[in-house]
Homo-oligomer: A and B are copies of this chain.
Amino acid sequence: MSEDNRIKIIPLGGLGQIGMNITAFEYGGSIVVVDCGLAFPEDDMLGIDLVIPDVSYLIENSEKLRGLVITHGHEDHIGAIPYVIKQLNIPIYATKLTMALIEAKLKEHMIENEVERHIVNFGDRVLLGDIEVEFIKTNHSIADACALALHTQEGVIVHTGDFKVDYTPVFGEPIDLQRFAELGKQGVLALLCDSTNAERNGYTNSEKAVGKAFENIFEDHDDTRIFVATFASNIDRIRQIINTARKYGRKVAVQGRSIENIVVTAQEIGYLEIPENTLIDIDQIKDYPDERLVIITTGSQGETMAALNRIANRQNKWARIKPGDTVIFSSSPIPGNEKAVSRVINELTLQGADVIYQDAHVSGHASKEEIKLIYSLVRPKYAVPVHGEYRHLKAQAYIARDMGIPKEDIFILQAGDVLSVGRERADITGQVETGSLFVDGLGVGDVGNVVLRDRQILAENGMVMVIAAVLADSGELVSGPEIITRGFIYVRESDEIMTEMSEVASESFRKLSDKGVTDWNKMKSVIRDDMSSFIWGKMKRRPMVMSIFIEV
């Protein structure tokens, strides 16, 4: 069958309507996995810490696995690696910084010695079974990001990873547009392209623009302390803050575990050179006048436990806001974090800080014109928009159509879809089992929808328990019923509502006894229903009602 020669593209790990950043590419007898990201829980996933992909399909096909190839070191591309690697034996390929970040994760999970790892350079081509993977330089909000060309006998697939086109990057080279062009000239079957900013017109600004903004702000605030909150992983941003600080004669202190770690890591691998006498320890800030200080912090997303929020709330040991301080948010809120960010801005403002949250940030993702540029260089036969919410994928689909790709050659995939791509045609040829697993504490997958539904009910209205000691056979009430509530309403033992609920439960027992009901399940259900009706009728509330019998 000619079908057998096509390349299969399978996004895994569903969350909502689309997959996470983990995609299997299957050709011949080989599977190459690209990225292995986690997702952060949605609002209704109460108590969940992280969401990771279900990789059953990879486990079932473990004999075909040739390599896990990572495009860059953001959490949504590397965060699930420790969890997945515990289930799969697969070597990892990544650029230098990306690998350093992965290694830190493996160490945390104490599995760094169990994983085969290969650091690659831009331009490298690695043969992984029947698929040769080529690493191509791109630009993004983290250093060392790359696109991939997957070469097979059937043809080439290009995967951009997360990217932007930065002609004037702060460190390293611009995106290797020539290589994209060369691949396009030779012929590319499918392009998987970043959609995150596919709704934005024009071009995304160069990272260098932020440096200019910093200079203006430092110029205008030359007599105050300056705090800058930013994303830990954006080393170029940190570099620019440090450079601006030096230019204006300021020392730099760093606050927040993730930024402290990345500064150490980046220095170790030679990605961040900080001149002597620039960095100071946070406990030294008291020794310098305000206008000689910059403090770089975590917490630009309003995270409760991060440095900036703790500084704002006077919980940080070394730094507190005083009137006149300048605080720069070198970030924009990730959707869903707007309110948390605003809360921190309010708190900082309340304490007298001058908060600047405009202009000091650029996105790491390509806008419409950059996406068009990539399409014109690569000229793929098939378009597969990736990265982003469904609306973003759809926005890229429109761009692809504008670029002349017929509607039927554009594929928006759902998690588990198997897209078979060949010289003659491409279509969805099947589905594999996948989905998401919830990580809660040390548990992976032991919290599912039933548990979440219970948490939702408990969160909304708390619970009311009817507790009774009952004779096993006769169902006769020996002690109780007692009423206990948690998270319901503020009540004391002596409150009328407690007496009323007690009477409702006693009445249920009487009724059951009169009818001669002795089946515990039946009894419990009647008691639960009576109590629920009473509470709804009286208060229009629906707590979780439980009837708990103990046998004596």
Contact = CB atoms under 8 A, between A and B. Distances in A.
Interface of A: 16-17, 42-43, 46-47, 335-336, 338-339, 342-343, 345-347, 349-350, 355, 389-391, 394, 440-443, 446-448, 450-452, 454-463, 465, 467-469, 478-480, 482, 484, 486-491, 538-541, 544, 546, 548, 550-552
A347 B389 CA distance: 10
Contacts of A460: 46-47, 455
A341 to B, nearest CB: 9
Contact of A479 (B462, B480, B488, B550): B550
A17 B451 contact: no
Contacts of A452: 487
Contacts of A469: 469, 479, 550, 552
Contact of A349 (B394, B440, B541): B394
Contacts of A391: 342, 345-346, 349, 355
A484 B346 contact: no
List the number of copies, as a whole number.
Answer: 2
Contact of A446 (B17, B467, B490, B552): B490
Interface of chain A, helix or strand or loop or mixed? mixed
Contacts of A16: 343, 346
26 contacts: A17-B350, A42-B339, A46-B459, A46-B460, A47-B462, A336-B338, A440-B489, A441-B541, A442-B539, A447-B490, A450-B490, A451-B488, A454-B462, A456-B459, A458-B458, A458-B462, A458-B487, A459-B459, A463-B463, A463-B486, A465-B465, A467-B548, A469-B479, A469-B550, A479-B551, A552-B552
Given A346-B17, A551-B479, A490 B546 contact: no
Given A467-B467, A548-B548, A342 B335 contact: yes
Contacts of A484: 546, 548
Contact of A441 (B342, B446, B486, B539): B539
Contact of A338 (B335, B459, B488): B335
